[in-house]
Homo-oligomer: A and B are copies of this chain.
Amino acid sequence: MRGTEMCRIAAYVGPSIPLENIIVRPRHSLLEQSQHATQAKLAVNGDGFGIAWYDQCEAPGLYRDVLPAWADGNLTSLCRMVRSRLFIAHVRASTVGETSRQNCHPFSHGRWSFCHNGQIPHFAAIERKLEADLPDHLYTARCGSTDSEMIFLTLLANGLDNDPTYAMAATLAKIGSGPDPVKITCTFSDGETLYGFRYASRGSAPTLYMSGTLDNGGKSFASEPLDGSTWEAVPVNKIVKLDVRQAA
């Protein structure tokens, strides 16, 4: 049986900054949210974490581990040293089952990175069909067993490269609905644009906020506002784009 996943996300695009400016330093940083989330069913997100960040290469760097984020000395050091103009970070809460790096977000494929907060409650009923519909190169790319990674691969199969809005609609159609509501709040990027999306087939979608202008001109998505600046809720059922060119 797979359990509920309720995670926390933070993402940034703008002038290059140390990762810690989003992940560690804000009053309600992602690291703080890993222990004291206030807008989630579970206050603690201790089942692994991950970061995808972009620099000169097309493919993002990826750092994921199964420890609670707050217990990883490497993470603190990396967040202090590594600077990036676009990155996505994630802390995971999973109530059932063994944690593995392969199941930690973000996932990456080529230039894309993706992380997710939510769940497909009827995933067991549709997993084989979703997997069977993947083209070979995406079937081979699957490393873990989560619904989250499958959403990402299905987005890619549905043309994420060309039209994210269409890809998302086609993916949601393929996922369909089950007895319990599908909930998908996610952020993803191709290294140029940062995308945010909130969706629930019924009821409320998991939270996602955006900050139009951080004090350095950058923009952010976060499951919960990181600090006292202005944050507004991402609208549901609509892909929101934050762009490095506008932000610069």
Residue contact B57 to A73, C-beta cutoff 8 Å: no
Residue contact B77 to A62, C-beta cutoff 8 Å: yes
Interface string of A93-115 (1 = CB under 8 A from B): 01101111110000000000000
For window 7-47 of chain A, which residues contact chain B by CB distance below 8 Å?
35, 43-44, 46-47
Closest residue of B by beta carbon distance from A47: B71
Closest residue of B by beta carbon distance from A143: B145
Nearest Cβ distance between residue A160 and chain B, in whole angstroms? 21
* A248 sits at the interface (CB 8 A): no
* A74 sits at the interface (CB 8 A): yes
* A163 sits at the interface (CB 8 A): no
Known: A43-B43, A66-B71, A140-B124. A80 touches B98 (CB 8 A): no
Q: What is the CA–CA distance of A41 and B171 in the complex, to the nearest angstrom?
A: 43
A46-B71, A132-B132 given; 20 more Cβ-contact pairs under 8 Å? A35-B95, A46-B68, A57-B81, A61-B77, A63-B74, A63-B77, A64-B73, A65-B74, A67-B99, A68-B68, A70-B95, A71-B94, A71-B99, A73-B98, A81-B82, A98-B102, A100-B101, A124-B140, A127-B140, A143-B145
* A128 sits at the interface (CB 8 A): yes
Residue of A47, A67, A94 with highest tally of chain B CB at under 10 A: A67
**Chain B neighbourhood of A99, CB < 8 A:** 67, 71
Residue of A70, A127, A139 with highest tally of chain B CB at under 10 A: A70
